[in-house]
């Protein structure tokens, strides 16, 4: 069993964040939104985070200014994933290929090899 509020606070601490850093909590599409105080009131619940079926809303996010937590699950086991906005490097390169037939390859790997899918 896990407590959603405690779990959320612990994950925030892992990334040097706290409740003050939270801008809003709601649905990933932004159609539902509450503040941290309201979230505290409904998130102090025990739930089974083990395998089985997902209990916490799968589109729940906790959003900061340049980061967010989102729910992830595998076979019903669920947890928070911490995400940050990608940053563009000053010396970033262009690319011409995003699919070349190699499974699980990165943009860099595909463009080093060159060509389009099927080559």
Residues 62 and 74 in one domain: yes
CB 80 within 8 A of CB 8: yes
Residues 95 and 80 in one domain: no
The larger pLDDT score, comparing residue 3 to residue 53, is at 3
Where residue 80 falls (left for φ over 0; alpha for ψ -120 to 50; beta otherwise) is: beta
Task: Look up the domain containing 96 and give its range.
Answer: 88-119
Residues 80 and 96 in one domain: no
Residues 18 and 60 in one domain: yes
Domains in the chain: how many in total? 2
Residues 59 and 26 in one domain: yes
Residues 27 and 78 in one domain: yes
Residues 22 and 43 in one domain: yes
Residues 72 and 115 in one domain: no
Question: How many Å apart are CA 6 and CA 11, to the nearest integer?
Answer: 9
Residues 79 and 93 in one domain: no
Please report, rounded to a whole number, the percentage of residues in the chain having pLDDT higher than 70. 94
pLDDT tens string 24-77: 999 999 999 999 999 999 999 998 877 777 789 999 999 999 999 999 988 878
Backbone angles phi, psi at 14, to 5 degrees: -55, -30
Tell me the CB-side half-sphere exposure of residue 84, using CA atoms within 13 A: 7
pTM exceeds 0.85 for this model: no
Tokens standing for 109?
């790997």
Backbone angles phi, psi at 38, to 5 degrees: -65, -40
């Amino acid at each position: 069993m896990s407590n959603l509020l405690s779990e959320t606070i612990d994950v925030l601490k892992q990334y040097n964040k706290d409740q003050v850093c939270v801008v809003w909590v709601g649905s990933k599409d932004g159609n539902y939104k509450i503040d941290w105080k309201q979230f505290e009131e409904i998130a102090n619940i025990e739930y089974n985070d083990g395998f089985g079926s997902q209990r916490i809303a799968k589109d729940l996010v906790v959003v900061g200014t340049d980061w967010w937590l989102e729910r992830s699950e595998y076979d019903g086991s669920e947890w928070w994933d911490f995400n940050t906005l990608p940053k563009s490097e000053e010396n970033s390169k262009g690319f011409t290929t995003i699919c070349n037939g190699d499974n699980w390859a990165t943009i860099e790997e595909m463009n080093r090899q060159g060509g389009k899918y099927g080559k």
